[in-house]
Amino acid sequence: MPHSNSPSAHLNTPSFEAVFLFDQGRLARELLYTEFEAILDGFIPVPDFAGTSAKATYLQLDAELRVVGIVFFLISFDAKGMVDRRWNVPLQQLLESAGTGPDMGGGPVRLACYSQCPVAWHQKNLWDPSMQAGNNTFIVIRDAVRANRLGLIAKAEKPTVTVSSGAVAPQATFDQQAFAREQAALEQRLHEYYNAELAKQVEQLTKEQSLHIATLMNQKQVKLHSLQQEHQERVLAYQQKLQQLSQENKDLQERNQTLKETLDIQATKVEGMREYFAHKLKAAQQGESSQIQLLQENFALELDAKIQAATAELREMLDMREVELFYRHQNENTLKEEIAQLKQETQQLLKNSGDQLLARLVKAGVNLVTFLPGLGEVAIPLDDIGVYLENPNAYAAAKVGVNEPVYLAWLAHHQMPCCNATDARGKACGRSIRAIETPLEFHPGESDRCAQHQAVALGMVADSRS
């Protein structure tokens, strides 16, 4: 029976299954799928990948050791080298509905990767192969399969038997016109055959280039996402620093005003005492000189005592204020630790209460999917259900890559895109503005302002820096 080159024919009845593990772009380990299942079941650890998230490929091979299906997936290991128990990627099911990829020797393969994922919520668990010259992941896999370090036994191809046509009888007459017609028909069939083969090659090259372009676009998108997140974190840090400096400046002004008022009161008291003793000294000038000298000394001593008492009172007030602040910080830290412990206990209780039912649902292939603004449909892992139920907004903010205040500000802006700038009387501007579609592109105090108030905010920031 002739061998079919179509990927569907290979994929329906794969003869071998294997898993390759990569480390920093190079092929690090080759496993039979049965060995990989033992790793998934927790019987065999992989110490080389302990505490990391590795890139891996699931391969399906035909009887002649040609790749007919491939899934590029990610897998995480704990500190002991065991597979993260939350990992759940249906490799075989992904290949059943996957699109086609490049020809690796047995026709176009079935391919599932980040840029070509048939199931949307599994896309985050996949990765894109490199298709650059000199660093082509498909070529590395093809060469490794040909090397056959796993010791797979390939089925030899059956030789093609060519049945020759019967010899022409010597007495047969040679018809020149019939020969010309047969030659023209043969040329026409050859022309159609080569045109069809050329069309197939052009279509295959077009698919490979489209996959290459898609992988490059995803890489650029990941880099852009990282830069946007870094930019947003810097802007938020600058805003927090500016707010902190403004608050410190305000506190210092209030403290200086309080000290100035206290010094004015003490100066008034000292001036009153000075006038009193001056009057007393003037009245005593008519007496003996010794009495005048004694009064002067008493005046100086009492004046020094009053000044020292006033200074000691101010220092005592400052020391008391510092002690109050110290104890307040201690109480705040204690309360924060208690809140964190209560949150952890609540999450553990939530997890334990429904752990058996949810684990059965996950094993049955049921995924918990919810809709989060800014993310769309998101599959929630079993261990994250407690975190999600406790604070859905914080969970969504962490998934998007921003903090919760920024996410809440973006959510309010996305629901009602208008200018939130207020005037001196506290009245909001309310002008309609363009809605920002993703939280990463949203900057509080800038994206929720109209063009006029954005210019005012930039001017204030420039003045504060100068």
Least confident of 4-8, 26-30, 371-375: 4-8
Confidence band, pLDDT 50/70/90 cuts, at residue 168: very low
Cα–Cα distance, 17 to 65 (Å, whole number): 10
CA distances from 79 to 20, 289, 344, 347 (A): 21, 93, 21, 23
For the chain, the farthest-separated pair of C-alpha atoms sits apart, in whole angstroms, at: 173
Cα–Cα distance, 414 to 433 (Å, whole number): 10
pLDDT tens by residue, 339-390: 888 877 776 665 565 566 666 777 776 677 888 887 788 888 877 777 888 8
Residue 336: pLDDT over 80: yes
Query: How does the average pLDDT of the chain come out, rounded?
Result: 80
| pTM of the full structure | 0.41
Helix (H, G, I), strand (E, B) or coil at 145: helix
Predicted local distance difference test score (pLDDT) of residue 243: 86
Confidence band, pLDDT 50/70/90 cuts, at residue 38: very high
Cα–Cα distance, 335 to 342 (Å, whole number): 10
pLDDT tens by residue, 176-227: 778 887 887 777 777 777 777 666 666 656 666 566 666 667 767 777 777 7
Higher-pLDDT residue of 5 and 105 is: 105
Phi and psi at residue 101, in whole multiples of 5°? -130, -160
In one-letter notation, the amino acid at residue 64 is: E
Which residues, in sequence order, are CB contacts of 346 under 8 Å at separation 6+?
A: 386, 390
The domain ranges of the chain are 9-153, 303-353, 356-465
CA-nearest of 407, 426, 429, 408 to 418 is: 429
Angle of CA points 141, 144, 145, to nearest 5°:
85
pLDDT tens by residue, 406-455: 888 888 888 888 988 888 787 888 888 888 888 888 888 888 888 888 77
Predicted local distance difference test score (pLDDT) of residue 440: 83
Residue 46: pLDDT over 70: yes
CA distances from 8 to 97, 168, 202 (A): 10, 43, 20
CA distances from 84 to 52, 81, 94 (A): 10, 9, 20
Q: Where does residue 152 rank: exposed (0-12), middle (13-18), buried (19+ CB within 10 A)?
A: middle
Percent with pLDDT over 70 in the chain = 80
Q: Mean pLDDT throughout 106-125?
A: 90
Residue 165: pLDDT over 60: no
Q: Mean pLDDT throughout 269-294?
A: 76
Phi and psi at residue 428, in whole multiples of 5°? -75, 150
Predicted local distance difference test score (pLDDT) of residue 199: 65
Cα–Cα distance, 246 to 252 (Å, whole number): 10
In one-letter notation, the amino acid at residue 149 is: R
Residue 300: pLDDT over 90: no
pLDDT tens by residue, 57-105: 999 999 999 999 999 999 999 999 999 888 999 999 999 988 888 888 8
